[in-house]
C-alpha cells in the first residue's frame, strides 16, 4: 500500500507517469468516469481549505466514486480530544483512501502509520503539500512543454509556504533548474531547504528582496500568500502582508512567455488586473489540480484503466 506524504515518495518516473495519466484524463474524461465505482474517499481536514478538499472530492466524484469527511477540527471528535491515530483507524473502516490536512507538521505521517488505507498529505503545517506540487508540475509541463531548463522565481512567504517547499523538493530532480528566491529577510527559505535540498543537489539559486530585479529573467513566477495562520503575532503579519504586490506595471518587466502561478488563495499579492494577462496561469492551475488528483487516486488505489 502506498501513501503520499511528500513529492519524494514518488520517483521522477512515477511522477511523470501520474502527469501522463492526468493528461489522458483531460483528453478522455469519459474513459475514467466509472473507474472508482464502489470506492470511497474520506477528506479529513483539520484546517480550512477550498481547493484541496473540493478538488479531491471532485476528482473522486469524476471517477464515479463517493466522498465523505469533515472540514474542520471543530466538527469532528478531535474537538473531544481524539487522536489522529485513533481517527484514522475509524476512517480505515469507512473509506478506501483518504486525504488529510492538519496544522501540525507530521500529522498525516502519524496517520499513515496506523492506517490500512492510502493516506494523502493534503498539507501539514508549514511542511509539505505534495498534491499542490503535482498540480504545479502538471500546469508547468502542460503550458511550457517541459519540466527542465527553467528559471523559477519563488516569491513571498518562503519560510512558512509549504507549497514552495514541496515544489523545490520535486524540481531539484530535473535538469537545468535554477531558482530565484524572492522574499523579505524575515520570510527567507529555511536553512534546511537551502543547504539540505538546493545545495545538496547543486541547484543554482540566488536570493533577492526586490521582485523587480528578478522579473526580467524568469520563465515562471510562483507567487505565494503570506501565511497569516503561521505567524506568532499579528503585528509581524501586518508588516509583511503587502510586501509584494504583482500588478500590470510590474508584469511589463517580465518576458512575454513567463507564466504566473499561485497555489491560491490570493489575498493582495496579485492585483486583480493581472488576471486578464495571458501569462496569468493560476486559474488554469486549479483545473489541472482536479486531473492530477484523479490520476493520483487511480495510482494509489492501483486501478488501471485500459
Q: Which stretch binds ligand CP (CB under 6 A): 43-51, 82-90, 91-99, 147-155?
A: 43-51
Catalytic residue among 3, 51, 127, 165: 51
Quick check: is 51 catalytic?
A: yes
Site for ligand CP in 228-267 (CB under 6 A): 263-265
Catalytic residue among 3, 39, 43, 52: 52
Please tell me whether residue 224 binds ligand CP under the rule CB under 6 A: no
Quick check: is 52 catalytic?
A: yes
Please give the Cα distance from 119 to 69 (Å, whole number). Answer: 13
Residue 156 CB, nearest approach to ligand CP (Å) = 13
Please tell me whether residue 204 binds ligand CP under the rule CB under 6 A: no
Residue 101 CB, nearest approach to ligand CP (Å) = 7
Catalytic residue among 127, 129, 159, 165: 129
Residue 7 CB, nearest approach to ligand CP (Å) = 15
Number of residues located near ligand CP, criterion CB under 6 A: 9
> Of the candidates 151, 136, 241, 233, which has an alpha carbon nearest to the alpha carbon of residue 187?
241
Please give the Cα distance from 63 to 289 (Å, whole number). Answer: 14
Q: How far is CA 263 from CA 29, 38, 288, 304, in A?
A: 24, 31, 12, 29
Draw the binding track, 125-164, toward ligand CP (x: CB under 6 A; -: no contact): -------x--------------------------------
Residue 132 CB, nearest approach to ligand CP (Å) = 5
Residue 125 CB, nearest approach to ligand CP (Å) = 13
Please tell me whether residue 123 binds ligand CP under the rule CB under 6 A: yes
Taking a C-beta distance cutoff of 8 angstroms, is the pair 224, 157 a contact?
yes
Position among 6, 43, 49, 121 found at the interface with ligand CP (CB under 6 A): 49
For ligand CP, which is the closer residue by CB, 123 or 153? 123
* CA dihedral angle for residue 216, residue 219, residue 158, residue 176, rounded to 10 degrees: -120
Please tell me whether residue 51 binds ligand CP under the rule CB under 6 A: yes
For ligand CP, which is the closer residue by CB, 39 or 51? 51
Position among 50, 77, 79, 116 found at the interface with ligand CP (CB under 6 A): 50
Q: Name residue, grid cell 495571458.
A: 278
Catalytic residue among 3, 39, 53, 101: 101
- Reading the block at residue 98, the C-alpha cell is 483518504
Beta-carbon contacts of 122 under 8 Å, excluding residues fewer than 6 positions away, are: 43, 45, 49, 52, 53, 56, 99, 100, 101, 108, 129, 131
Beta bridge partners of 69: 43
Q: How far is CA 199 from CA 24, 206, 274, in A?
A: 35, 11, 34
Strand order in the sheet with 119-124: 66-70, 40-45, 97-102, 119-124
> Of the candidates 180, 193, 194, 171, which has an alpha carbon nearest to the alpha carbon of residue 223?
180
Residue 202 CB, nearest approach to ligand CP (Å) = 30
Where does this chain bind ligand CP (CB under 6 A)? 49-52, 123, 132, 263-265
Q: Which residues are catalytic?
A: 51-52, 80, 101, 129
Amino acid at each position: 500500500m502506498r501513501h503520499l506524504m511528500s513529492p519524494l515518495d514518488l520517483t521522477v518516473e512515477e511522477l511523470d507517469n501520474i502527469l501522463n495519466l492526468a493528461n489522458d484524463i483531460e483528453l478522455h474524461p469519459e474513459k475514467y468516469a466509472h473507474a472508482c465505482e464502489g470506492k470511497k474517499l474520506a477528506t479529513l481536514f483539520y484546517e480550512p481549505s477550498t481547493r484541496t478538499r473540493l478538488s479531491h472530492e471532485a476528482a473522486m466524484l469524476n471517477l464515479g466514486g463517493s466522498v465523505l469527511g469533515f472540514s474542520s477540527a471543530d466538527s469532528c471528535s478531535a474537538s473531544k480530544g481524539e487522536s489522529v491515530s485513533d481517527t484514522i483507524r475509524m476512517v480505515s473502516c469507512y473509506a478506501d483512501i483518504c486525504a488529510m490536512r492538519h496544522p501540525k507538521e507530521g500529522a498525516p505521517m502519524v496517520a499513515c502509520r496506523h492506517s490500512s488505507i492510502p493516506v494523502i498529505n493534503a498539507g501539514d503545517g508549514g511542511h509539505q503539500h505534495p498534491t499542490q506540487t503535482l498540480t504545479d508540475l502538471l500546469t508547468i509541463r502542460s503550458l511550457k512543454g517541459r519540466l527542465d531548463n527553467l528559471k523559477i522565481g519563488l516569491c513571498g512567504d518562503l519560510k512558512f509556504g509549504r507549497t514552495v517547499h514541496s515544489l523545490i523538493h520535486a524540481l531539484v530532480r530535473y535538469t537545468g533548474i535554477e531558482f530565484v528566491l524572492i522574499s523579505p529577510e524575515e520570510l527567507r527559505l529555511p536553512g534546511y531547504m537551502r543547504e539540505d535540498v538546493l545545495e545538496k543537489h547543486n541547484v543554482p539559486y540566488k536570493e533577492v528582496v526586490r521582485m523587480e530585479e528578478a522579473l526580467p529573467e524568469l520563465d515562471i513566477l510562483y507567487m505565494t500568500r503570506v501565511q497569516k495562520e503561521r505567524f506568532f503575532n499579528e503585528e509581524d503579519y501586518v508588516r509583511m502582508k503587502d510586501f509584494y504586490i504583482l500588478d500590470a506595471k510590474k508584469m511589463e518587466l517580465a518576458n512575454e512567455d513567463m507564466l504566473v502561478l499561485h497555489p491560491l488563495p490570493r489575498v493582495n499579492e496579485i492585483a486583480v488586473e493581472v488576471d486578464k494577462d495571458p501569462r496569468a496561469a493560476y486559474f488554469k492551475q486549479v483545473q489541472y489540480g482536479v486531473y492530477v488528483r484523479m490520476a493520483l487516486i487511480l495510482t494509489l488505489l492501483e486501478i488501471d484503466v485500459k
